[in-house]
Structure 1
Amino acid sequence: MATFGTTSATANPNPNRSTEVSQPPSDSVSSLCFSPKANVLVATSWDNQVRCWEIIKTGTSVSTVPKASISHEQPVLCSTWKDDGTTVFSGGCDKQVKMWPLLSGGQPVTVAMHDAPIKEIAWVPEMSLLVTGSWDKTLRYWDLRQPNPAHVQQLPERCYALTVRHPLMVVGTADRNLIVFNLQNPQTEFKRVISPLKYQTRCLAAFPDQQGFLVGSIEGRVGVHHIDDSQQSKNFTFKCHREGNDIYSVNSLDFHPVRYFILNYVNGA
Structure 2
Amino acid sequence: MTSLAPGITADIEIPNPPEDSISSLAFSPNGRGPSAGNDFLAVGSWDASVRIYEVAPNGQAIGRALYKHDAPVLNVAWGPDLSRVFSGGADNAARMFDTATGQATQVGAHDAPVRSVRWAQVNGSGLLITSGWDKIVKYWDVRAPSGTPVGSVQLPERCYSMDVCTTGSRHFLVAATAERHVSMYDLVNPATPWKNLSSPLKWQTRVVRCFEPLPEAKSGTGFAIGSIEGRLGVHFAEDRETVNNYTFRCHRQEPTKNETKIFAVNDIVFHPVHGTFVTCGSDGTISVWDKDARTRQKTFDTAPGPISALSCSGSGRFLAYAVSYDWSRGHGGMTPGHPNKVLLHTCKDEEFKRRVRR
Report the TM-score, using the length of structure 1 for normalisation.
0.90
Who is 1:79 aligned against?
76
- Whether contact under 8 Å (2:65, 2:102) holds in the other structure is no
CA distance change for structure 1 residues 72 and 194 in 2, over 3 Å: closer, same or farther?
Answer: same
Give 1:190's match in structure 2, choosing from 185, 190, 194: 194
Moved more, 140-149 or 244-253: 244-253
SS class of match (1:196) = coil
Q: How far did 1:177 drift?
A: 0.4
- Whether contact under 8 Å (1:168, 1:206) holds in the other structure is no
Who is 2:250 aligned against?
240
Give 2:112's match in structure 1, choosing from 103, 116, 120: 116
Who is 1:15 aligned against?
7
Moved more, 228-237 or 141-150: 228-237
Q: How many residues align?
A: 254
Matches within 5 A, 1:115-264: 115-126=111-122, 127-144=125-142, 145-147=144-146, 148-166=148-166, 167-209=171-213, 211-244=221-254, 245-264=260-279
Q: How far did 1:106 drift?
A: 2.5
Aligned residue identity for 1:14: P
Who is 1:107 aligned against?
103
1:39-97 Cα deviation digits (max 9, x unpaired): 11110000111011111234xxx321112211111000011111121110111100011
What CA distance in whole angstroms lies between the structure 1 residues aligned with 2:70 and 2:23?
15
- Whether contact under 8 Å (2:92, 2:111) holds in the other structure is yes
Who is 1:3 aligned against?
none
What CA distance in whole angstroms lies between the structure 2 residues aligned with 1:153 and 1:205?
20
Q: How far did 1:26 drift?
A: 1.3
What CA distance in whole angstroms lies between the structure 1 residues aligned with 2:71 and 2:53?
21
Who is 2:23 aligned against?
30
Who is 2:292 aligned against?
none
1:194-234 Cα deviation digits (max 9, x unpaired): 00101111111112136321111111111011233332321
- Whether contact under 8 Å (1:168, 1:181) holds in the other structure is yes
SS class of match (2:242) = helix
Who is 1:57 aligned against?
57
- Whether contact under 8 Å (2:51, 2:67) holds in the other structure is yes
Who is 2:88 aligned against?
91
What CA distance in whole angstroms lies between the structure 2 residues aligned with 1:87 and 1:230?
38
Who is 1:265 aligned against?
280
CA distance change for structure 1 residues 146 and 71 in 2, over 3 Å: closer, same or farther?
Answer: closer
Aligned residue identity for 2:128: L
Q: How far did 1:246 drift?
A: 2.4
Aligned residue identity for 2:157: E
What CA distance in whole angstroms lies between the structure 1 residues aligned with 2:63 and 2:145?
33
Aligned residue identity for 2:224: L
Q: How far did 1:265 drift?
A: 2.2
CA distance change for structure 1 residues 230 and 36 in 2, over 3 Å: closer, same or farther?
Answer: closer
Q: CA RMSD in A?
A: 1.5
Relative contact order, CA 8 A, sep 6+: which one is greater? 2
- Detail structure 1 runs of 4+ shifted over 6 Å in the superposition: none
Who is 1:48 aligned against?
48
Aligned residue identity for 2:280: Y
